[in-house]
A = this chain, B = another copy of it.
Amino acid sequence: MGGSASDADNWHGVDATLTYYIDFVAKGASISGFPEWLPSERVVEQRVIDTLRKVFELNGFIGIETRAVETGASLLKKGETSKEIYLLSRLQEVGHESDTPIEDRLGLHFDLTVPLSRYVVEHSGDLAFPFKRWQIQKVWRGERPQEGRFREFVQADIDVIGAGELPDHYEVELPLVMVSALEELRAFGLPKATVHANNRKLSEGFYCGLGLTDIEGVLREIDKLDKIGADEVTKLLVETCGATEAQARACLELADLTAADGAELAAKFDELCEAHGIAKDSEAYTLARQGLDTLAMIVDEAAAIRPGSVIADLKIARGLDYYTGSVYETFLDGAASLGSICSGGRYDNLASQGNRKYPGVGLSIGLSRLVSYMLHTAGAHANRVSPAAVLVAVWNEEDRPAANRIAAQLRARGIATDVAPTAAKLGKQIKYADKLGIPYVWFPASATEGEESTGDEVKNIVTGEQTAADCTSWEPDTVVAQQTVEI
């Protein structure tokens, strides 16, 4: 949650810190907070989505899509109404919205985790557990228009949900899948990503051991460390969480703790507990130690598989109250101000059916913001706007059927092809291809009417090279054959 602006943001989970990048969204989007990409930008977004999906499926995650709406009751667990949610009303109901209690109204989902939990419970009889799923969809948040935040954006999530129980090896595997997915995006200019992991039990146990009681309050203030600094956080801990100066300093010491591996992490943590009088046989220590062991396992396993990909960072707090163990945030090298681009954690109590719980762990990429960064900072761009590699020229409207036949031949061989919109002057047709970035213009044989017929020719309008070509066998240069993303 590095960089979120206020406490009220904390429920967001992912993508709360959008203010920073709002300036970079596609110009002309006339409704504030609802970004819309130009066609060439959409190529980049689509490529990012395709890449993530490929990695997720390679790792055995199953794709689902949930409906965009949930009931108010489901969106507002515990009756919280400070959330930024969009409720729906039918046009016919305008003026009578209040006749229906909010719990029974429909609202747009604000993340993909709450819908997943509901989906799993609803369809539990038809799923195999643990259920590993990927999901890339839009979410909506009813922010105040003037806040300049995204109110509609895309999230890309992976989660695994167990029935009854969930092995903790997923708590290291899922961040690693995300890292490998983000690694693939480096080809499009994304800097190296590092997952920062912490564990709720560790923090909570430590704070309890210190004698603090407002655990949620402490987590919320610690979450602000990167933004407002240690002095301000100390002040807030004292003023709003009932901490003494000494307790506040101890909280900051924990947040500052770093370690090269799990063993060092454990040793330093034990030292800290000893220094602050947290006994090893206390309930608080036992809880903290559970979290510590999981965190140590995560950093050691991750280091063995992909060194430097997942590190322990004891100041990661995350505002969402449904996390019960591991929590993750992900930062890009050299883009600290962007905040976390992929966050998540383990949640043991989000979904249940009678006595059966469905514990889960998952991470969510704030895709719209990531794409915004890639486009506007990392320099990712499409090699062309059109998916077509070839534009078939049309000499006269009477020749259009011949041009269409050539296009059909090329398409049948998998070469994306467009046909000139009108039988305009050749220069105008080439200009149309150029504007769309289409690299080849095809000249049907009738071009040479009047001259000696030389058959079809094809021109690479970038290099200027023009050669005789047969639409049943010609192949474009592999470098320009496909629409791609470059940096």
Chain A residues 17-68 with CB under 8 Å of chain B are 28-31, 34-39, 42-43, 45-46, 57-68
- Chain B residues with CB under 8 Å of A67's CB are 29, 31, 34-36, 152
Let me know if B91 and A87 touch, CB within 8 A: yes
Let me know if A30 and B417 touch, CB within 8 A: no
> Is A85 positioned at the interface, with any CB of B under 8 Å from its CB?
yes
Let me know if A123 and B28 touch, CB within 8 A: yes
List the interface of chain A (C-beta within 8 A of B): 28-31, 34-39, 42-43, 45-46, 57-69, 71, 76, 81, 83-92, 94-95, 97-98, 102, 106-108, 119, 122-123, 126-128, 130, 132-133, 138, 140, 142, 144, 152, 162, 167, 169, 173, 301, 304-305, 385-388, 391, 397, 400-401, 404, 408, 411, 414-419, 421-422, 432, 435-436, 438, 483
In the assembled complex, the Cα of A39 lies from the Cα of B60 at a distance in Å of 13
* CB closest residue in chain B, given A97: B97
Knowing A57-B387, A91-B81, A142-B92, the reply to whether A401 touches B304 (Cβ < 8 A) is yes
Q: When A and B form their complex, which 3 residue pairs have the shortest distance between CB atoms, in order from nearest?
A: A60-B418, A90-B142, A60-B388
- Chain B residues with CB under 8 Å of A29's CB are 67, 122
- Chain B residues with CB under 8 Å of A107's CB are 91
Let me know if A38 and B123 touch, CB within 8 A: yes
- Chain B residues with CB under 8 Å of A387's CB are 57-58, 60-63
Knowing A90-B84, A421-B167, the reply to whether A71 touches B31 (Cβ < 8 A) is yes
Interface centre among A60, A102, A162, A385 (most CB of B within 10 A): A60
Copies in the complex: 2
Let me know if B57 and A416 touch, CB within 8 A: yes
* CB closest residue in chain B, given A417: B60
- Chain B residues with CB under 8 Å of A62's CB are 39, 385-387, 436
In the assembled complex, the Cα of A414 lies from the Cα of B184 at a distance in Å of 14
* CB closest residue in chain B, given A40: B126
Let me know if A106 and B422 touch, CB within 8 A: no
Q: List 28 A-B contacts (CB under 8 A).
A: A36-B67, A38-B123, A39-B133, A43-B63, A57-B387, A58-B387, A58-B414, A58-B415, A60-B386, A60-B387, A60-B419, A60-B438, A67-B152, A81-B91, A84-B90, A84-B92, A86-B88, A87-B90, A87-B91, A88-B142, A89-B142, A91-B102, A92-B142, A92-B144, A94-B102, A162-B421, A301-B401, A304-B401
* CB closest residue in chain B, given A410: B58
* CB closest residue in chain B, given A438: B60
Knowing A87-B88, A108-B88, A128-B436, the reply to whether A305 touches B404 (Cβ < 8 A) is yes
In the assembled complex, the Cα of A190 lies from the Cα of B432 at a distance in Å of 37
Let me know if A34 and B414 touch, CB within 8 A: no
Pick the residue among B28, B64, B417 that contacts A59 (CB under 8 A): B417
Knowing A61-B387, A417-B60, A435-B128, the reply to whether A91 touches B97 (Cβ < 8 A) is no
In the assembled complex, the Cα of A130 lies from the Cα of B428 at a distance in Å of 13
Let me know if B128 and A432 touch, CB within 8 A: yes
Additional A-B contact list (5), CB under 8 Å, known A60-B419, A83-B91, A128-B435: A58-B416, A59-B411, A84-B92, A89-B97, A89-B142
In the assembled complex, the Cα of A69 lies from the Cα of B385 at a distance in Å of 25
- Chain B residues with CB under 8 Å of A140's CB are 68
- Chain B residues with CB under 8 Å of A43's CB are 63
* CB closest residue in chain B, given A57: B387
Knowing A59-B417, A98-B94, A304-B401, the reply to whether A122 touches B39 (Cβ < 8 A) is no
Tell me, rounded to whole Å, the shortest Cβ–Cβ distance linking A315 to chain B. 29
- Chain B residues with CB under 8 Å of A86's CB are 88-91
- Chain B residues with CB under 8 Å of A421's CB are 130, 162, 167
